[in-house]
Structure formats: C-alpha cells, structure tokens
C-alpha cells in the first residue's frame, strides 16, 4: 500500500503547478480562480496531515542528480521527509488554507484578484518546497522564491506609493541577508563538497574540519535567517510590510516567510551545534530582538504594526530557544505562534474590514459589536502573553525556563533577563491594544455602523481558536509527544528544564503586564498621556517610536552610499563615458562624412579607385 510519505512530493508541487491557473484563466473561472488556490492548498494540507500522522520512523528521502551528475561533487535535489519537515509543511499548508478561505471574503472587492491567488499559491508552494528540500541549494532556490513572492504580495496595491516602497524595502533588506546565505552556501560547497542535507546533518564536524570555517558558514547562513525572520538589525521591513493586504501579513507572519528563518537554523541545527559561538550569536540576536521589538510594540498606534513587532519579538524568542539549546522548544513555539498569530492577524483584518481603521485611536468598544473577532483577539492576546491554558503559555514557559537554565550553566543571565522583561512588555502591549480597541468607548463618536464580519471570515478564526486551545497540550505536564517527534538527530538533545518557580515567575511577569495595561487604560490610575510628558520619557518614547533610529540610519547610509555612487557614476558618465562616446560618435560621423565625400558621383573616379585597389592588392600580396 502506498503510504502518504510517497506522496509527499505533491505537497509543494500541487500549489506550484496549479498557480498559473488563476492569473491566466482567472477572469473566466468562478470567483477569479480562488477555488483553484484553495483546492491546491487543501490538497497539500490533507497530504501533509496524512504524512504527519503516518510518518515512517526513518527519514524518507527521494532525490535526483541535478548538476554535475556522475562526479563526486554532484548536486542532488529532492525531498527530505522527517518529523521536522512534516510538521512544518502541515503548519504551513493548514494555515495557508485557512487564510485563503478568509481571503475569499476579505479580498473580494479588490482589483487584480487572479494575481493575488497566483502569488499566494506560489508563496505557499515555495515555503512548502523550502521545508521539504533535501539540499541547501534547493532550499536556497525556494528561499529566493519566497522573497520574490513577498515582494509581489506586500506590493499588491502597487499603485499606493507606501505599498510599493514597503515591498521594495522588504525585498532589499531581506536580500542583504540572502547574500550572506548565498556566500555561506558557496563556502559550504567548496569546503564540504556537498550540499545534501543528510550528508551535512549526519556528520557536520567531519564534513568541514576547521571549526573557524564552520562558524563562518553558520553565521553567514544565519545572516539569511536574520533577514527573513526580521531580527536585529535587518528588521525595519517587517512593520512596513503591513502595507500589504492583511491576509498577506497573516501568512507572512505566521507560517511562511518569517518562519523560514527559524526553520533554516532548526534544519541545520546539528551544523550550528558544532560551530563554536554560532549559537551564542543566534541567542543574543534573538534576545535583543525580542526586547527591542516588544518596546516598539508598546508605543505604536497601528494595530497591524503592533502585531508585526510582536512577531519580531516572538521570533526572537525562538532564536533564543535555538541559541540556548532548546531546539524542541523553538519548534514548539514556532507552531504555537503560527496558530495564534494567524488568528490575531485575521482578527485585525476583520476590524479593518468592518471599520476601515488600522489606528487604535480610531477604534473602541468593538467587543460588543464584533464578538467573535473580539474573542479571537482576546484569546490570541492571552496566548501571546503566555497565560495558561493557551498554547503560547506552554512554549514560552519552556523557552524562558531554558534561558534560565542556560544562565545557570554559563553564569550569563542577561539573555534570561531580556526575555523575562519582554514577557511583561508583551502582555502589556497586546492588552493595551485589546483594551483600547475592544473595551474602551470610542474616542470620537461612532460615525459608522459596525457589524460582525461574515461566516467566511469568522470560521477560519474559530478553527484557529480551537487550535490555540489544543496544540499547547502536545508538550505539557500531561504528555510530551511533540519533542520526540521533531527531534530528528540524537545530537539535538532534550530541552533543558528549569525549576517550577521559574515558570511561576514568568507567569507573574505576564500577569503584571496585563495588569499594568489594565491600570493605565481601563482604570486610568496613570493616564497614558503621562508617559509622553517629561524630558526623559519623551526622549525614550521618541527613541522607541522611531524604531531606535534603525530606519533613519538605513536611510542615511543608503542615501550616502547612493549619493556617493551616483556622484561617482555621474562624474564618470559625464566626463569619461560621455566624452568618450561623444568623441567616438563625432569622429565616426566625421569619418563617415569623409567617406561620403569620396563618393563624388564622377564615374572616372570610381573606376580609378577600383583599379588602384586592384593594383594595391597585387602590390601588397605579390610584390611585398
């Protein structure tokens, strides 16, 4: 009997193969080809789920020789199926399907829908291919496809200047990291002579004997992950990417693009383990990103941007988990985060759909009018804050516990401190958003009648809500089926456990965060305006609101580099090239005129030239 594992190649292929249908035939298909997209992703989901449930005990690998066949350094491409990739494709295809169903209603009034469906299919298919790829080069191919699709989707409303520039920004900043990944891949190939995952994962230390080289490669690959997962310092594209449709944001932020960075590190984790200092860098970047993003989430007024910063912050948590050796916890958080973040984004999308507002200050009192949306946002917020029994609690608790354990072992507690404080900030910013948007009465009188969105949009939210309640229990005091499942190599090790008081402290911090938000916004014990008065606070607030001046710095650097290059090019163009070209052009034209003047129209001259030519040829070749 054919097992599901043998069908796994269909998972990325179906969306990719069917992707041309909407854009080429969308106008003739019902609902612009949306059903093709949903059908393709649903097929992927069913197969992925089947694969996940009937996973063979050994990794399943099919590959074909692609480049340099028949040589010792041939490059194979194919699919590699184990617990990790099976989990990833299930998350991706499942969430993508729900988001596509949601888009049916959410995007229904947009122009260019066939384009939207096609791009979403390629985006999802690329992510699935990335997760399943069995060689680094194939991963890179899909990695770039993900980047290209994100550009197209973020810039879906390309006539809006903000959307166009956000798409450009996302593409360029992510590319900076991609270059690192590319160089890392080339170094891996030139030093290790293979790009096949099984070979790299089985004995990474013998593959490349020099530890320095291993660290260099690991850090270069991690640069790619920084770009895709929007970690410090390549994060500014993420909040700007909110200019795309909310469904796109939901997909990017839950299961596709940003998850790709974490997945890349997780996939190559055995390699990172034998690269000295590499995991330290991963953890440090993750902790700093988690903290910085949480502070930025606290001061933003745009509900989608708040969610974007929270994504960056939560990805920071995953990086921390990877950095401190809690590989299983990182993947656990990846899954849980994908579920609740997709739900939060869909909820924000529903608000946007119903009210047309993204700014918190234009919202208020929505809970009464939009019960399902409000509930989804509340549950998502609780999960994000790490409140039991929602799934975020279980994974976050594991990560912070592992960070504490890491501190005990190495004596370095600052990673732990950063993620602990971030937990407080996280709870504070998400509940600030919840209270302002859903509980507090609207600031200006409600001018628009607001209704709950239709079933097409609420059902995906409800399904995700169910998962938020469920997935956390997969690795809980009750049972632990998750960690053995994703642990694909013995070297990965079990996630270190911390004493239970650490967990209680984390919970206390999270509750304090919610409590602070409650005090400031609901009880108004300390009115929020207080935070924007006073010199120190104003300065701090400005610093955070300007994204710690990263944007400004990038702009300056870009402008400087651009101006410098432009100036040099202009100089070169004007004086060297133009002079040269014009000079050549002018002298050629002059030469042409001279030649033209040879044409006297006098036939005796013509014959004379001809005879002289003949004589010259004879002289040249016979006499001389």
Partner 1 sequence: MNLYTELLGLSPVGVLVLAQIVLFVQDLVKEGKRLSQYISAAALAVSCLLSVYLASSGNTVSFANSTFVFNSLAYYFGVIFSLSALLVMLSAGSFLSRAEYAFEFSSLAILGVLGSFFVASSTNLVALFVVFEMATTATYGMVAYARRSKLSAEAAIKYFVVGAVSAGIIIYGISLIYIATGSVSISSVFSVASQSSQLLDVGVILLIVGFGFKIAAFPFHMWLPDTYEGAPYPATTYLASVSKVMGFAALVRIFLVMGPAIYALGGLNWEVIFGLLSILTMTFGNLAALVQTSMKRMLAYSSIAMSGYMLIGLALGTSFSYAVLLYFMLTYAIAKAGSFIVAQFFESEHNAKSIDDYAWLARKSPLSAFSLTIMLLSLAGIPPLSVFVAKFFIFYASVQVGGYWILLAIAGVLNSALSLYYYARVIKNMYIGLAGESPPPQGARLERIGYMIPILTCLVLTIALGLGEGTVIAVAKHAVTTLSATVF
Site residues for partner 1 per CB under 8 A: 588-589, 591-593, 595-596, 598-599, 601, 603, 605-607, 609-614, 617-618, 621-622
Q: 409 vs 406, 413, 624, CA distance in Å? A: 5, 10, 91
> What minimum distance in Å lies between the beta carbon of 605 and partner 1?
7
User: Between 566 and 577, whose beta carbon lies closer to partner 1?
Assistant: 577
Q: Are 124 and 15 in contact (CB under 8 A)?
A: yes
Q: Beta-carbon neighbour count of residue 181 at 10 Å?
A: 25
d(CA 74, CA 191): 14
User: Between 564 and 613, whose beta carbon lies closer to partner 1?
Assistant: 613
User: Between 557 and 616, whose beta carbon lies closer to partner 1?
Assistant: 616
Going by C-alpha positions, the residue among 306, 327, 281 that lies closest to residue 517 is: 306
User: Between 30 and 601, whose beta carbon lies closer to partner 1?
Assistant: 601
Q: Residue 621 contacts by C-beta under 8 Å, 6 or more apart in sequence?
A: none
User: Between 209 and 587, whose beta carbon lies closer to partner 1?
Assistant: 587
User: Between 536 and 603, whose beta carbon lies closer to partner 1?
Assistant: 603
User: Between 481 and 614, whose beta carbon lies closer to partner 1?
Assistant: 614
User: Between 558 and 618, whose beta carbon lies closer to partner 1?
Assistant: 618
Q: 403 vs 127, 279, 283, 502, CA distance in Å? A: 29, 13, 9, 10
Q: Are 226 and 234 in contact (CB under 8 A)?
A: yes
d(CA 262, CA 240): 21
User: Between 449 and 599, whose beta carbon lies closer to partner 1?
Assistant: 599
User: What DSSP character marks residue 435?
Assistant: I
Going by C-alpha positions, the residue among 221, 136, 482, 511 that lies closest to residue 330 is: 482
For 351-384, b/e burial (b = at least 16 CB within 10 A) is bbbbbebbebebbbbbbebbebbbbbbbbbbbbb
577: phi then psi, degrees, rounded to nearest 5: -70, -50
Show the tokens assigned to 208: 């490349």
Packing angle, helices 327-355 and 257-267, rounded to 10 = 180
Instruction: Supply the DSSP string of 212-248, one letter for each residue.
Output: HHHHHHHHHHHHHHHHHTT-TTS-THHHHGGGS-HHH
Instruction: Supply the DSSP string of 507-542, one letter for each residue.
Output: HHHHHHHHHHHIIIIIS-SS-GGGGG-SHHHHHHHH
User: Between 53 and 617, whose beta carbon lies closer to partner 1?
Assistant: 617
> What minimum distance in Å lies between the beta carbon of 582 and partner 1?
13
User: Between 542 and 587, whose beta carbon lies closer to partner 1?
Assistant: 587
User: Between 159 and 597, whose beta carbon lies closer to partner 1?
Assistant: 597
> What minimum distance in Å lies between the beta carbon of 615 and partner 1?
9
DSSP strand pairing (60-67 vs 75-81): antiparallel
> What minimum distance in Å lies between the beta carbon of 608 and partner 1?
9
User: Between 561 and 611, whose beta carbon lies closer to partner 1?
Assistant: 611
> What minimum distance in Å lies between the beta carbon of 31 and partner 1?
38
> What minimum distance in Å lies between the beta carbon of 602 and partner 1?
10
d(CA 431, CA 294): 13
Q: Residue 73 contacts by C-beta under 8 Å, 6 or more apart in sequence?
A: 189, 193, 194
Going by C-alpha positions, the residue among 146, 425, 467 that lies closest to residue 300 is: 425
> What minimum distance in Å lies between the beta carbon of 585 and partner 1?
8
Category of 141 on φ-ψ map: left (φ > 0), alpha (ψ -120 to 50) or beta: alpha
> What minimum distance in Å lies between the beta carbon of 570 and partner 1?
24
Q: 535 vs 296, 520, 542, CA distance in Å? A: 19, 20, 11
Show the tokens assigned to 371: 């019960």
> What minimum distance in Å lies between the beta carbon of 624 and partner 1?
12
């Amino acid at each position: 009997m054919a097992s599901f594992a043998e069908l796994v190649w269909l998972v990325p292929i179906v969306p990719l193969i069917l992707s041309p249908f909407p854009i080429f035939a969308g106008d003739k298909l019902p609902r612009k080809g949306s059903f093709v997209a949903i059908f393709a992703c649903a097929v992927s989901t069913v197969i992925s789920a089947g694969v996940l449930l009937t996973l063979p005990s050994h990794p399943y690998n099919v590959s074909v020789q692609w480049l340099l066949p028949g040589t010792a350094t041939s490059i194979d491409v194919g699919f590699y199926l184990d617990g990790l990739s099976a989990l990833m494709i299930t998350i991706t295809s499942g969430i993508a399907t729900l988001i596509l169903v949601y888009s049916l209603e959410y995007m229904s009034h947009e122009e260019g829908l066939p384009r939207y469906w096609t791009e979403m299919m390629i985006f999802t298919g690329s992510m699935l291919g990335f997760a399943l790829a069995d060689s680094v080069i194939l991963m890179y191919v899909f990695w770039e496809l993900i980047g290209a699709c994100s550009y197209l989707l973020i810039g879906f409303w390309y006539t809006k200047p903000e959307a166009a520039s956000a798409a450009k920004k996302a593409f360029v900043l992510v590319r900076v990291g991609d270059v690192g990944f590319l160089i890392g891949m080339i170094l891996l190939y030139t030093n290790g002579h293979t790009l096949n995952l099984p070979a790299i994962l089985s004995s990474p230390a013998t593959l490349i004997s020099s530890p320095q080289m291993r660290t260099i490669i690991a850090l270069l690959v991690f640069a790619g992950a920084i770009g895709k997962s929007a970690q410090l310092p390549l994060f500014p594209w993420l909040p700007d990417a909110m200019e795309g449709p909310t469904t796109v944001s939901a997909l990017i932020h839950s299961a596709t693009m940003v998850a790709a960075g974490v997945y890349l590190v997780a996939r190559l984790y055995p390699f990172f383990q034998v690269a000295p200092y590499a995991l330290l860098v991963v953890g440090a970047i993750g902790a700093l990103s988690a903290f910085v993003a949480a502070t930025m989430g606290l001061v933003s007024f745009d509900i989608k941007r708040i969610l974007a910063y929270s994504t960056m912050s939560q990805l920071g948590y995953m990086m921390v988990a990877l950095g401190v050796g809690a590989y299983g916890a990182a993947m656990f958080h990846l899954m849980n985060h994908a579920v609740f973040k997709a739900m939060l984004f869909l909820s924000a999308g529903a608000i946007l759909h119903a009210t047309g507002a993204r700014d918190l200050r234009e919202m208020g009192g929505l809970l009464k009018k939009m019960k399902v949306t409000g509930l989804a946002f509340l549950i998502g917020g609780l999960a994000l804050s790490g409140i039991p029994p929602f799934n975020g609690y279980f994974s976050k608790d594991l990560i912070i516990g592992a960070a504490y354990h890491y501190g005990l072992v190495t004596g370095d507690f600052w990673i732990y401190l950063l993620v602990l404080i971030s937990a407080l900030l996280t709870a504070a910013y998400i509940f600030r958003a919840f209270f302002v948007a859903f509980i507090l009465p609207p600031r200006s009188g409600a001018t628009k009648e607001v209704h709950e969105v239709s079933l097409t949009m609420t059902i995906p939210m409800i399904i995700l809500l169910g998962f938020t309640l469920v997935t956390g229990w997969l690795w809980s005091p009750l049972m632990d089926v998750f960690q053995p499942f994703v642990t694909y190599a013995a070297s990965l090790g079990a996630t270190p456990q911390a004493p239970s008081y650490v967990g209680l402290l984390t919970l206390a911090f999270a509750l304090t965060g919610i409590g602070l938000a409650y005090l400031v916004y609901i009880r108004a014990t300390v009115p929020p305006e207080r935070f924007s008065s006073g010199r120190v606070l104003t300065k701090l607030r400005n610093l955070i609101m300007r994204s710690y001046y990263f944007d400004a710095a990038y702009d300056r650097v870009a402008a400087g580099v651009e101006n410098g290059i432009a100036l040099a090019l202009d100089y070169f163009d004007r004086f060297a090239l133009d002079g040269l070209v014009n000079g050549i052009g002018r002298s050629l034209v002059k030469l042409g005129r001279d030649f033209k003047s040879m044409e006297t129209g006098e036939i005796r001259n013509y014959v004379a030239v001809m005879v002289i030519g003949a004589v010259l040829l004879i002289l040249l070749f016979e006499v001389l």
